């Protein structure tokens, strides 16, 4: 095997890769042994026909395509290593010569990250970020706790009002015909939650237990069921129950019930402490983000489309995983939102581009500054992960693959690089 770098322009490199005749012949033999079972040759059991017999019947190049898979990969990897090339996508391959008894010549066009410079990344000026905890913040947290500990009580002496929980039967029709999936019995619904079609919940306000009413609505144009999208519908609704939240009093007894504290003042002091810790953590993270954003914004870099598309792929997989965690999936999301994959990819493009550019710039700075992950830092990170998964450290460590270990090291290097930028920033 041999290779030659024959052209380099912008972020594309053209390689000439040569595989010797003997090496290619060996690859053809491997291809024959792999796929010979696919050929039915009269007079031979399946998979037992000699190579020459198969080539005579189907042509001399019958095994060439599979042979390329055996020989090109190693030759390509060797060429990348020789010229220290880090491709961002699969190469474009052109076979210039492939004949029996001769060396095989490939031309591979490889896309790489364009060259760019990062300068003046030390001394970046940013404003100091502070988040102060106010009395209303503490009160809001108390009210959230109050809501979480509320109980629902039945109401019989008044009509439905906003925020009530109602139990209803309903049956929907369009143009006088009931439609599939448009009916339910004893369905719970919080008025004002936006759970139902726009306009539905508001029309129940003022109704009383036992009332039977017609609710007129129009399905949204982007409704997931295309046969209903944009159409007017009538729902026959019967109201069975009305319930409202009964909030506990914010007093010492409440504090005892929801916490380890004996008084409301102690609970409020604890809430304040936790909010201040959270505010400090957020301010620190936002400052780090501000420094990184300013450094990245100062760098001129046109990213290859391939790396952005890969990042979008990754973000789509993450989004799909989040949906599955909720018992949903991407297909259901597309139906409900009326969007298509192409629409979602386009929505993610700007964020994906910024994520890739940020990581590329940080990687460049880490190389310039020779930032490394020490063994001690790696071990500390592994210990944290083992604790999260409730495993013994040594057992957890023994199961870590090289790829995962490199991921841990890369995260540490990125974090330390950001530390360096923040330490050298001018914070006013």
- Give the pLDDT confidence score for residue 175 in this predicted structure: 92
- Give the pLDDT confidence score for residue 286 in this predicted structure: 97
Q: What is the pLDDT of residues 350-370, one digit of tens each?
A: 999 999 999 999 999 999 999
Q: What is the pLDDT of residues 277-301, one digit of tens each?
A: 999 999 999 999 999 999 999 999 9
Q: What is the pLDDT of residues 163-203, one digit of tens each?
A: 999 999 999 999 999 998 899 999 999 999 988 999 999 99
Q: What is the pLDDT of residues 367-415, one digit of tens each?
A: 999 999 999 999 999 999 999 989 999 999 889 999 999 999 999 999 9
Q: In the predicted model, is pLDDT for residue 13 greater than 80? A: yes
Q: In the predicted model, is pLDDT for residue 224 greater than 80? A: no
- Give the pLDDT confidence score for residue 115 in this predicted structure: 87
pTM of the entire predicted model? 0.74
Give me the domains of the chain, ranges plus CATH numbers. Answer: 2-111 (3.30.70.1050), 151-246 (3.10.50.40), 273-427 (1.10.3120.10)
Residue with more model confidence, 74 or 9? 74
- Give the pLDDT confidence score for residue 21 in this predicted structure: 93
pLDDT confidence bin for 339, thresholds 50/70/90:
confident
Across 100-106, average pLDDT:
90
- Give the pLDDT confidence score for residue 156 in this predicted structure: 92
Half-sphere exposure for 239 (CA within 13 Å, toward CB):
28
Q: What is the pLDDT of residues 236-271, one digit of tens each?
A: 999 999 999 999 999 999 999 999 999 999 999 999
pLDDT confidence bin for 95, thresholds 50/70/90:
very high
Contact by Cβ (8 Å): 107, 14: yes
Average pLDDT of every residue of the chain: 93
């Amino acid at each position: 095997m041999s290779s030659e770098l024959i052209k380099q322009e912008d972020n594309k490199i053209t390689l000439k890769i040569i595989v010797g005749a003997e090496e290619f012949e060996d690859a053809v033999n491997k291809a024959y042994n792999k796929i010979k079972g696919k050929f039915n040759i009269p007079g031979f059991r399946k998979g037992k026909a000699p190579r020459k017999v198969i080539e005579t019947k189907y042509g001399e190049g019958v095994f060439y395509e599979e042979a390329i898979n055996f020989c090109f990969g190693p030759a390509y990897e060797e060429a990348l290593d020789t010229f220290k090339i880090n491709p961002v996508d699969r190469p474009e391959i052109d076979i210039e010569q492939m004949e029996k008894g001769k060396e095989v010549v490939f031309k591979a066009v490889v896309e790489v990250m364009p060259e760019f410079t990062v300068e003046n990344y030390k001394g970046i000026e940013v404003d100091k970020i502070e988040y102060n905890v106010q009395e209303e913040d503490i009160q809001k947290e108390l009210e959230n706790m109050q809501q979480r500990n509320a109980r629902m009580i039945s109401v019989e002496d008044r009509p439905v009002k906003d925020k009530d929980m109602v139990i209803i039967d309903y049956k929907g029709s369009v143009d006088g015909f009931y439609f599939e999936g448009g009916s339910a019995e004893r369905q719970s619904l919080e008025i004002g939650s936006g759970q139902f079609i726009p306009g539905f919940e508001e029309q129940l306000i003022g109704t009383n237990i036992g009332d039977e009413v017609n609710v007129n609505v129009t399905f949204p144009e982007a409704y997931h069921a295309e046969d209903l999208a944009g159409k007017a519908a009538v729902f026959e609704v019967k109201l069975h129950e009305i319930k409202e939240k009964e909030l506990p009093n914010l007093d010492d007894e409440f504090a005892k019930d929801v916490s380890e504290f004996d008084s409301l003042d102690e609970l409020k002091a604890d809430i304040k402490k936790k909010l201040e810790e959270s505010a400090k953590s957020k301010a620190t993270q936002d400052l780090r983000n501000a420094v990184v954003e300013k450094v990245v914004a100062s760098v001129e870099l046109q990213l290859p489309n391939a790396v952005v598309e890969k990042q979008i792929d990754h973000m789509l997989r993450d989004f799909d995983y989040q949906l599955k965690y909720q018992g949903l999936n991407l297909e259901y999301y597309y139906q409900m939102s009326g969007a298509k994959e192409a629409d979602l990819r386009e929505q993610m493009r700007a964020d994906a581009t910024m994520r890739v550019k940020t990581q590329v710039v940080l990687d460049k700075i880490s190389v310039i500054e020779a930032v490394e992950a020490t063994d001690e830092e790696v071990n500390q990170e592994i210990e944290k992960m083992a604790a999260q998964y409730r495993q013994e450290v040594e057992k957890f460590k023994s199961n870590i693959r090289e790829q995962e270990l490199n991921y841990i090291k890369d995260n540490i290097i990125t974090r330390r690089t950001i530390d360096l930028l923040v330490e050298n920033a001018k914070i006013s």
